[in-house]
Amino acid sequence: MSPIEINKDDFIEIGYRLIDIISDFYDTINESPVTTGETPEQIQAVLGNASLPENGTSVSELFTKTSDLLLNHSLLNGHPKFFGYITSSPTQIGALADLLASAVNPNVGANILSPMATAIEKQTLKWLAEFIGVSPTYGGILVSGGNMANLTGFLAARTAKAPKSMKEDGLVATSGKMVFYCSKATHTWIEKAAVLFGHGSKAIRWIPTCADNKMDTVILLQTIDSDLKNGKKPFLVIGNAGDVSTGVVDNLSEIAAICKAHDLWFHIDGAYGIPAAVIPQYKNLFDGIQEADSIALDPHKWLYAPLEAGCTLVKNPQHLIDTYSAHPVYYNFDNSADEPTLNYYEYGFQNSRGFRALKVWMALQQVGKNGYIKMINEDIELSKLLFEEAQKHEELEAVTQNLSIATLRYVPLNYAQDERMNETYLNTLNEKLLNELQQGGEVFLSNAVITDKYCLRACIVNFRTSKKDIQEIIEIIVREGRKVYEKLQIK
Ligand X SMILES: Cc1ncc(COP(=O)(O)O)c(C=O)c1O
Q: Is 250 in the site for ligand X (CB under 6 A)?
A: no
Which CB atom, from 161 or from 457, has the smaller least distance to ligand X?
457
Which CB atom, from 244 or from 406, has the smaller least distance to ligand X?
244
CA distance to 56, 413, 421, 428, 483, per residue, from 416 (Å):
66, 8, 8, 17, 19
State in angstroms the smallest separation of the CB of 312 from ligand X.
12
State in angstroms the smallest separation of the CB of 80 from ligand X.
20
Which residue among 98, 293, 298, 397 contacts ligand X (CB under 6 A)? 298
x/- binding map, residues 200-239, to ligand X, per CB under 6 A? ----------------------------------------
CA 41 to chain centre: 29
Which residue among 79, 158, 187, 315 contacts ligand X (CB under 6 A)? 187
Residues 263-282 that bind ligand X (CB under 6 A): 269, 271-272
The C-alpha atoms of residue 461 and residue 300 are separated, in whole angstroms, by: 10
Which residue among 34, 76, 86, 320 contacts ligand X (CB under 6 A)? 86
Which strand (E) or helix (H) includes residue 9? helix 8-27
CA distance to 4, 11, 164, 223, per residue, from 60 (Å):
13, 9, 57, 63
State in angstroms the smallest separation of the CB of 273 from ligand X.
7
Number of residues this chain uses to bind ligand X (CB under 6 A):
14
Evaluate whether 224 touches 176 at the Cβ level (below 8 Å): no
The C-alpha atoms of residue 120 and residue 103 are separated, in whole angstroms, by: 16
Where in 319-471 does DSSP place strands (E)?
396-402, 405-410, 446-450, 453-459
Q: 343 Cβ partners below 8 Å, 6+ apart?
A: 109, 110, 111, 118, 333, 334
x/- binding map, residues 113-152, to ligand X, per CB under 6 A? --------------------------------xxx--x--
Q: Is 161 in the site for ligand X (CB under 6 A)?
A: no
Q: Is 109 in the site for ligand X (CB under 6 A)?
A: no
Q: 351 Cβ partners below 8 Å, 6+ apart?
A: 109, 345
Cα four-point dihedral sign 419, 423, 428, 434: positive
Q: Is 254 in the site for ligand X (CB under 6 A)?
A: no
Residue nearest to ligand X (CB): 146
Contact residues for ligand X, defined by CB under 6 A:
85-86, 145-147, 150, 187, 189, 244, 269, 271-272, 298, 310
